[in-house]
Amino acid sequence: MIIKPIPYGHQHITEEDIQAVIETLRSDYLTQGPKINEFEAAFAEYMGVKYAVAVSNATAGLHLCTITLGVKPIDKIIVPPITFVATANCIRYCGGEVVFCDIDKETYLMDIHKLKSMLEAAPKGTYKGIILVDFAGYPVKLKDFKKLADEYGLWIIEDACHAPGGYFIDDEGKKQCCGNGEFADLAVFSFHPVKHIATGEGGMITTNSKELYDRLCLYRTHGITKDSALLYENHGGWYYEMQELGYNYRITDFQAALGISQLKRADAGLEKRQKIAKQYNQVFARVENLLIPYIADNIYHAYHLYVIQVKDRLGLYNYLRKNHIYTQVHYIPLHLMPYYQGLGNKKGDLPIAEEYYEHCLSLPMYPSLTDEEIRYIIKKIEKYR
């Protein structure tokens, strides 16, 4: 009999993680120490990308991306509505305009056909960029979006917060990992506790562009540089210059130590998530009025979330709560948030996202779920009428 509450997501901290943090706390560095570079290098290698920039959280990371790409007031950027608010807010921080594009019925990712229609319907140059989200851990097929983006001169930010380790196989049979910088200019990951890799708060930006990398590093630390090759003047060893308006969006050394330790288990965590999804799928595919997540052959789903569509969502949510299973809803469409309604969006604008929202529910999905808990969740859902 299970009485311990089961959340929809949870961090997995081992004794090794704790020791890694303790070791750093005992070292000379708390903020800018060697663990940050080490974490960035290990993460870049894991993702198969040239550069990685660790940041205080993914929201700060997304903001750094929009500053670095030069988003200005009145610039129009296209974003999907089914995502966390931070995906769109990073455009607003720079004064840009968020334009929503509806989602695909099956994958719940931005619908490329709708995007194409939007681009064709507006004079060239109307839009500056697109933010694509690997929602729930399902990798966006970025190669197709990149082709379209190039046609219209748009940059791409990949919000890969849900998808470290996810990948798709492209039309040439090549494995394309989320955040590998092959198609998106910049990609952002989150290390919030419910994500695959947890550092408390924390995030990472990846890119293959040296130019963007240098600017990200500058804006991450107040716009300050000490690089003698870049200084306008040089008064001695202490000298630095603030050359741009930047921020303090740095991560700390002990968080980076935790990240390094967690990264070592990233593949094992993904495998466990895949295994849980298979167990759920096997049973839930036969449950009436319930739709399991879409799966495709050429996709490796990172399963940050396991999202079902269910006819009586409120009923199932309350029933599971009574049974100590705490599900969640991802997400309330962004265009229906009072803030974004205040900017001219309204109900009815994005029918697929709105219909999706009426029925979506995220079931527990995290590597430390026990077999007993998985069986309990499955049994409870099977029994629900």
Which of 84, 167, 300, 357 binds ligand PLP (CB under 6 A)? It is 84
Question: Minimum Å distance from CB 5 to ligand PLP?
Answer: 20
Please tell me the count of residues contacting ligand PLP according to CB under 6 A: 14
**CA–CA separation, 382 and 120 (whole Å):** 46
Q: Does 55 bind ligand PLP (CB under 6 A)?
A: no
**CA–CA separation, 359 and 307 (whole Å):** 10
Q: 102 or 159: whose CB is closer to ligand PLP?
A: 159
Residue of 288, 279, 299, 289 lying closest to 365 (CA atoms): 279
Q: Does 83 bind ligand PLP (CB under 6 A)?
A: yes
Q: 161 or 302: whose CB is closer to ligand PLP?
A: 161
Between 211 and 250, how does the x/- string for binding to ligand PLP read (CB under 6 A)?
Answer: ----------------------------------------
Which of 11, 57, 199, 262 binds ligand PLP (CB under 6 A)? It is 57
Q: 133 or 302: whose CB is closer to ligand PLP?
A: 133
Residue 191 CB partners (closer than 8 Å, separation 6+)? 57, 58, 197, 198, 199, 200, 201, 202, 203, 204, 255, 259, 262
Q: 190 or 309: whose CB is closer to ligand PLP?
A: 190
Q: Does 159 bind ligand PLP (CB under 6 A)?
A: yes
Q: Could you give the angle at the alpha carbon of 151 between the alpha carbons of 76 and 186, nearest 5°? A: 60
Q: 59 or 180: whose CB is closer to ligand PLP?
A: 59
The piece of 51-59, 67-75, 98-106, 269-277 that touches ligand PLP (CB under 6 A) is 51-59
Question: Minimum Å distance from CB 203 to ligand PLP?
Answer: 5
Tokens of 321: 């709560």
Beta-bridged to residue 332, according to DSSP, are none
Q: Does 203 bind ligand PLP (CB under 6 A)?
A: yes
DSSP helix/strand/coil, 188: strand
Question: Which of the 8 DSSP states describes residue 105?
Answer: T
Instruction: Work out the number of other CB atoms within 10 angstroms of the CB of residue 105.
Output: 12
Between 118 and 157, how does the x/- string for binding to ligand PLP read (CB under 6 A)?
Answer: ---------------x------------------------
Q: Does 190 bind ligand PLP (CB under 6 A)?
A: yes
Question: Minimum Å distance from CB 62 to ligand PLP?
Answer: 6
Q: Residue 268: enclosing H or E segment and its boundaries?
A: helix 266-284
The piece of 78-86, 171-179, 308-316, 349-357 that touches ligand PLP (CB under 6 A) is 78-86
DSSP helix/strand/coil, 110: strand
Length of the chain: 385
Between 85 and 124, how does the x/- string for binding to ligand PLP read (CB under 6 A)?
Answer: -xx-------------------------------------
Q: Does 59 bind ligand PLP (CB under 6 A)?
A: yes
| Under 8 Å between Cβ of 175 and 203 | no
The piece of 71-79, 109-117, 159-167, 273-281 that touches ligand PLP (CB under 6 A) is 159-167
Q: Does 58 bind ligand PLP (CB under 6 A)?
A: yes
Amino acid making up residue 17: D
**CA–CA separation, 383 and 171 (whole Å):** 42
For helices 142-151 and 112-121, the axis angle rounded to 10 degrees is 0
Question: Minimum Å distance from CB 308 to ligand PLP?
Answer: 18
Q: Does 192 bind ligand PLP (CB under 6 A)?
A: yes
CB contact burial 300-333 (16+ within 10 A = b; e otherwise):
bbbbbbbbbbbeebeebbebbeebebebbebbeb
For helices 58-68 and 210-220, the axis angle rounded to 10 degrees is 120
Give the ranges where 48-171 is alpha helix by DSSP (H).
58-68, 85-92, 112-121, 142-151
**Would you tell me which residues interact with ligand PLP (CB under 6 A)?**
57-59, 83-84, 86-87, 133, 159, 161-162, 190, 192, 203
